[in-house]
């Protein structure tokens, strides 16, 4: 398997390290900044004898080298800077994504593409339209990261190992996300049996603002350890044909009563990418929140240069 990661910044290079160490495939790091991807690849290569992992990793500033990739991860883009509106970020990242997606379409028409660049659900939709790829082969990483954050916060609140927790978050990768307590469990027992509704809501709220909390503490840049772990888990599920249930930003065509939008839902992930969209039995309130998020996303879709 050849896995190309476009954007060798924090998320891209940490994803490369994780995948390389796990021997998931041959990794190519790509960045528009001259020398950056090559430098990081050499550094990662030097770690091989020390870590005793004989992985293959290369770096390039020429995107043409992605040719032959089976899986492509797109982390290229800008993070929001102080004073920059969401609309400006949307326009700037859409321009970067367009350029990258046209190259992918040309050089790797049969590849599976995972979008990581924010605003995630909009960029995933945009990438689908630009490439014309089938929606089971192009999707976004978002809610599986949010589910990781939710599980961590539940574990800390209840003093149970986070590894015993199965957390579920659906919806947009942003403020409208829906951490679902009824579908989150500790060793099979619903979270609702451990905490009351007020506590569930507090944990859900903390999950929604976790990314912003990290950004404000870091001072510059945004989270990358957990995001790269979430990307690597999706790539591994595909390469190893795991058929795991992972939340991804998927194009919906009637599922959940929603059409023509990309949003986070649980999916069965395997060698063919999305092998099934899992429809949870949501409460009326959850369903209507999800639908309102789609209305907001659709309003923003009109700002994409399609
Ligand atoms: N082609 C290749 N690489 C590009 C291009 C391009 N056209 N445009 C920008 N890049 C590169 C930048 O040079 C930079 O190295 O993308 C990289 C982005 O890295 P960081 O700025 O470190 O951002 P990171 O924290 O990795 O986040 C990347 O993922 O989680 C999202 O919101 C986040 O949209 C952001 C993306």
Instruction: Give the DSSP letter string of 254-272.
Output: SGGG-EEEEEEEEEEEETT
Tell me what pLDDT residue 87 has: 75
Q: Are 267 and 247 in contact (CB under 8 A)?
A: yes
Atom of ligand 1 lying closest to residue 223 CA: 25
Same domain, 124 and 152: no
Pick from 5, 72, 79, 86 the residue to mutate for probing ligand 1's pocket: most ligand atoms within 8 Å of its CB: 79
Atom of ligand 1 lying closest to residue 33 CA: 13
Residues with CB under 6 A from ligand 1: 6-12, 30-33, 36, 75-77, 79, 96, 99-100, 116-118, 221-222, 224, 227
Of 94, 124, 140, the position where a domain reaches its end is: 140
Distance from Cα 218 to the centre of ligand 1, integer Å: 17
Cα dihedral 69, 260, 248, 215 sign: positive
Widest CA span in the chain: 55
CATH number of the domain at 131, please: 3.40.50.720
Distance from Cα 12 to the centre of ligand 1, integer Å: 8
Of 85, 114, 140, the position where a domain reaches its end is: 140
Pick from 6, 10, 11, 223 the residue to mutate for probing ligand 1's pocket: most ligand atoms within 8 Å of its CB: 11
Place of tokens 């014309």: 132
Q: Are 130 and 102 in contact (CB under 8 A)?
A: yes
Of 117, 140, 163, the position where a domain reaches its end is: 140
The CA-CA-CA angle for residues 303, 305, 306, to 5°, reads 110
- Does residue 293 form part of some domain? yes
Same domain, 106 and 174: no
Distance from Cα 238 to the centre of ligand 1, integer Å: 23
Same domain, 148 and 161: yes
Map residue 73 onto helix, strand or coil: strand
C-alpha neighbours within 13 Å on the C-beta side of residue 292: 9
Tell me what pLDDT residue 88 has: 82
Same domain, 102 and 165: no
Q: Is 291 a catalytic residue?
A: no
Please list, in sequence order, all residues whose beta carbon lies within 8 angstroms of the beta carbon of residue 31, skipping any fewer than 6 positions away.
Answer: 6, 7, 8, 9, 12, 37, 59, 61, 76
Pairing mode of beta strands 26-30, 57-60: parallel
Tell me what pLDDT residue 82 has: 67
Distance from Cα 183 to the centre of ligand 1, integer Å: 33
- Does residue 306 form part of some domain? no
Tell me what pLDDT residue 85 has: 73
Same domain, 133 and 151: no
Distance from Cα 233 to the centre of ligand 1, integer Å: 20
- Does residue 44 form part of some domain? yes
Same domain, 111 and 153: no
Same domain, 129 and 159: no
Per-residue pLDDT of the chain (306 residues; tens, 9 = 90+): 999 999 999 999 999 999 999 999 999 999 999 999 999 999 999 999 999 999 999 999 999 999 999 999 999 999 777 667 777 889 999 999 999 999 999 999 999 999 999 999 999 999 999 999 999 999 999 999 999 999 999 999 999 999 999 999 999 999 999 999 999 999 999 999 999 999 999 999 999 999 989 988 998 889 999 999 999 999 999 999 999 999 999 999 999 999 999 999 999 999 999 999 999 999 999 999 999 999 999 999 988 988
Same domain, 163 and 120: no
Same domain, 157 and 265: yes
pTM of the model: 0.98
Q: Are 73 and 49 in contact (CB under 8 A)?
A: no
Tell me what pLDDT residue 79 has: 77
Looking at 40, 137, 149, 173, which residue is catalytic? 173
Same domain, 114 and 149: no
Tell me what pLDDT residue 89 has: 86
Tell me what pLDDT residue 11 has: 97
Range of the domain at 25: 2-140
| One-letter-per-residue 3-state SS of 46-84 | HHHHHHCCCCCEEEECCHHHHCCCCEEEECCCCCCCCCC
* DSSP structure class, residue 171: B
């Amino acid at each position: 398997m050849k896995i190309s990661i476009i954007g060798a910044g924090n998320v891209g290079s940490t994803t490369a390290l994780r995948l390389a160490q796990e021997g998931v495939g041959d990794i190519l790091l790509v960045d528009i900044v001259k020398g950056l991807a090559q430098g990081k690849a050499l550094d990662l290569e030097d770690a091989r004898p020390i870590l005793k992992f004989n992985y293959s990793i290369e770096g390039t500033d020429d995107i043409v080298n992605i040719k032959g990739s089976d899986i492509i991860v797109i982390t290229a883009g800008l993070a929001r800077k102080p004073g920059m509106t969401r609309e400006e970020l949307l326009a700037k990242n859409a321009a970067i994504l367009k350029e990258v997606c046209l190259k992918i379409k040309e050089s790797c028409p049969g590849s599976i593409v995972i979008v990581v660049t924010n605003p995630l659900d909009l960029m995933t939709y945009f990438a689908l339209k630009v490439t014309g790829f089938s929606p089971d082969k192009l999707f976004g990483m978002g809610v599986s990261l949010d589910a990781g954050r939710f599980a961590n916060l539940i574990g800390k609140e209840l003093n149970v190992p986070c590894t015993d927790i199965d957390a579920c978050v659906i919806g947009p990768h942003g403020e409208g996300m829906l951490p679902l307590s009824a579908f989150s469990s500790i060793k099979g027992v619903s979270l609702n049996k451990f905490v009351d509704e007020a506590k569930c809501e507090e944990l859900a709220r903390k999950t929604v603002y976790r990314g912003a909390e990290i950004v404000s503490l870091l001072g510059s840049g945004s989270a990358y350890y957990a995001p790269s772990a979430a990307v690597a888990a999706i790539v591994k599920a595909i390469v190893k044909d795991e058929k795991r249930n992972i939340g991804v930003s998927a194009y919906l065509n009637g599922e959940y009563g929603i059409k023509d939008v990309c949003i986070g839902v649980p999916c069965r992930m395997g060698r063919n990418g999305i092998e099934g969209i899992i429809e949870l039995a949501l409460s009326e309130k959850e369903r209507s929140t999800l639908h309102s998020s789609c209305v907001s996303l659709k309003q923003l879709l009109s700002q994409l240069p399609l």
